């Protein structure tokens, strides 16, 4: 099997950039900035919920890891869905800009790990295996989890911001 060359990948990105959807998302100010705004607002909500969970694990906020916090979990996953679709729109608008940038993969990895940690915490709360509503229930083994969450979300936000400035290829179609 032949190896995929960098030129063939750029050619694939160039073909995607020439689709009507990519052109619309890239050249329509309303479409692009709506996607960017929705992505930012959804990220703010998701990160906010996760920071609240991390602070609760650290013992800085009371009573967040219990059943009363579950409505926020539902909104959290709707916001994750919005992040996915708005991020996909941004990716379709500039595929080469993101997919040729290692920072994109750092962001995606940190986001995935952060969401997996959150999902696990939500399962524990739902199954009543963790409840911090009483001060005596705080477990010191939760501190590494909280710091892992904080690191994941700081990396996600930081890498997301750097994506706008660290690309080496903006449009692959410029090379063909």
- Condensed to tens digits (0 to 9), the pLDDT of residues 108-146 reads 999 999 999 999 988 887 777 665 555 545 556 788 999
CA distance 35 to 25: 8
- Condensed to tens digits (0 to 9), the pLDDT of residues 39-64 reads 999 999 999 999 999 998 888 887 67
pLDDT higher than 70, residue 171? yes
CA distance 46 to 29: 25
Nearest-CA neighbor of 75 among 117, 32, 103, 44?
Answer: 44
pLDDT higher than 90, residue 25? yes
- Answer with the residue of higher pLDDT: 22 or 173: 22
Specify the pTM. 0.86
CA distance 115 to 130: 18
Confidence of residue 155 (pLDDT cuts 50, 70, 90): very high
């Amino acid at each position: 099997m032949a190896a995929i060359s960098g030129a063939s990948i750029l050619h694939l990105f160039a073909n995607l950039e020439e689709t009507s959807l990519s052109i619309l998302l890239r050249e329509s100010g309303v479409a692009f900035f709506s996607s960017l705004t929705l992505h930012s607002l959804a990220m703010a909500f998701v990160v906010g919920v996760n920071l609240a969970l991390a602070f609760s694990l650290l013992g800085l906020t009371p009573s967040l890891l219990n059943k009363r916090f579950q409505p926020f979990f539902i909104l959290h996953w709707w916001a994750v869905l919005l992040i996915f679709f708005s991020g996909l729109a941004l990716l379709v608008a500039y595929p080469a800009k993101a997919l040729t940038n290692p920072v994109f993969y750092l962001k995606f990895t940190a986001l995935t790990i952060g969401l997996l940690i959150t999902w696990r915490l939500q399962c524990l709360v739902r199954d009543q295996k963790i409840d911090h509503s009483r001060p005596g229930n705080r477990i010191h083994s939760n501190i590494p989890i909280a710091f892992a969450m904080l690191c994941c979300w700081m990396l996600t936000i930081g890498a997301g911001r750097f994506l706008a400035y660290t690309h080496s290829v903006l449009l692959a179609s410029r090379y063909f």
